[in-house]
Amino acid sequence: MATRIERDSMGEMEVPATALYGAQTARAMINFPISGIRFPRPLLRALGQIKEQAAFVNRELGLLDDKIALAVMDAAAEVVEGRLDEHFPLDIFQTGSGTSSNMNANEVIANRAAQLLDQKIGDKTIHPNDHVNLGQSSNDVIPTAIHLAAAAEIVDALLPALQQMQKLLIDKATAFDDIIKIGRTHLQDATPVRLGQVFGGYSQQLELVIAELKRAVEGLSELPLGGTAVGTGINTHPNFAGKVIERIAAINKLPLREASDHFAAQGGKEAIVAASGALKTTAVALFKIGNDIRHLGSGPRCGIGELKLPAVQPGSSIMPGKVNPVMAESLMQVCSQVIGHDATIALGGLSGNFELNVMMPVMAHNLLESIRLLGNGVTQFCVQCLEGLEANRERCGELVEQSLAMCTALAPGIGYDQAADIAKEAFKSGQTVREVARQKKVLPEDELDKILDPYPMTEPGIPGKTR
């Protein structure tokens, strides 16, 4: 492979001749061949936006020559668009501040800007530190990029997926509202509910997590840019950060603002931990919904069978005709992974030492991966499962009538003990509660039918008395 020589403060390094990165990136490639996992596109996009708008503002402030600034902006725009992704080879398990990746961006943008000016790459015509990184430090750029990327991905990808799922659940709640099914507590039969009420409950679970995610975006919208090395803002113009953030906010349509306290913003990572917590809460809610739907669709003949799940693929390599609830299983695995990511992020969050957190790259990876997995998992669950989900009306009605919990409605009229005796006899004899109560003549026939009507049991009130 043809190479060229680039230099940094530690000396010379061989770099592939066609690579846009320089010596510091090449050193990091030698130091950190750990996982092969690179920073994802949203973070590279965020880095590109920061560098592009920094050049614009530094030019506006009279700190950067017009020609250099415009070339840097054009090169950074290519990073934003994803046209230079192949030149970002670094592993996420690197220096804890993300300095390697910040310098990777600086070198790529500097060399690409030099190309755009018909200059030789690597000759520092445009300098990665002096020009591209002007007014910045890895210590404020990397956390700013993490916040920006995560907030944008939550707003643009995850929230729309959850809102679509919520709409589908509301549609199902409406369609299923006249279907009475048996409720279950402790995995045992309980009093009747309407299937629409169940799906309405699922919808409300999503309403709550959507609100929590929006609060997380609000927290992420406070950006550390402007603190430079330790939070003091040394080597940056006092108006730099505010102007850059204003421009990035307009591009992303996000309520971005400069951190009110740069020492907190760089030493602590509570906004990232809180965002991960919101993602974990979302995963917990989605796991419950997916797991419920999976169980309610169990069967088709020897399980609960109150729901009919769409058949999307053969379920067994040995049992012909078997169909499994694979979309629910996929969603549950996604949720489990997100919960694991949250544990890593929590550990990363408590690793702030004095004026800097040194676990930012792995926190960034886990946070953005959680957002991506949840967005994709929810979208597929909606398309491949929820849209075609149907209720088994006959099965729902059959199980309600067979339930021993029907005796609950009798208790206010005949007393708890007598109602319990009826349930025990019904279980022992294989009869329904209605059949045993009729045989024992505990109530007049018309009153018994009124009390054992399952629909009123799905609303507040005393069966047969008040509604």
Active site residues: 186, 316
Whole-number Å distance between alpha carbons of 238 and 75: 25
Other Cβ atoms closer than 10 A to 34: 10
Chain position carrying tokens 């967005």: 375
> Backbone phi, then psi, for 5, in 5-degree steps?
-105, 125
Task: Tell the burial category of 162 from Cβ atoms under 10 Å away from its Cβ (0-12, 13-18, 19+).
Answer: buried
Nearest to 139 by CA among 295, 287, 278, 263: 263
Bridge partner list, 180? 194
Q: Residue 309 — φ and ψ, nearest 5°?
A: -85, 140
**Other CB atoms closer than 10 Å to residue 439's CB: what's the count?**
12
Indicate the Cα dihedral angle 12, 13, 14, 20, nearest 10°.
-110
Q: Which two tokens stand for residue 293?
A: 């739907």
CB-CB contact of 38 with 92 (8 Å): yes
**Distance from the Cα of residue 329 to its chain's centroid:** 17
* Alpha carbon separation from 437 to 11, 191, 401, 451, 461 (Å, rounded): 92, 17, 13, 11, 21
* Backbone φ and ψ of 86, nearest 5°: -65, -15
Question: What is the rounded CA–CA span in Å between residue 260 and residue 228?
Answer: 14
Half-sphere exposure of 327 (CA within 13 A, CB side): 22
Strand partners, 307: 391
When computed from its CA atoms, the radius of gyration of the chain, rounded to whole angstroms, is: 30
Positive or negative, the CA dihedral 405, 411, 415, 419 is negative
Closest of 238, 250, 251, 242 to residue 223, by C-alpha: 242
Q: Which of 366, 356, 373 is nearest to 142 (CA)?
A: 356
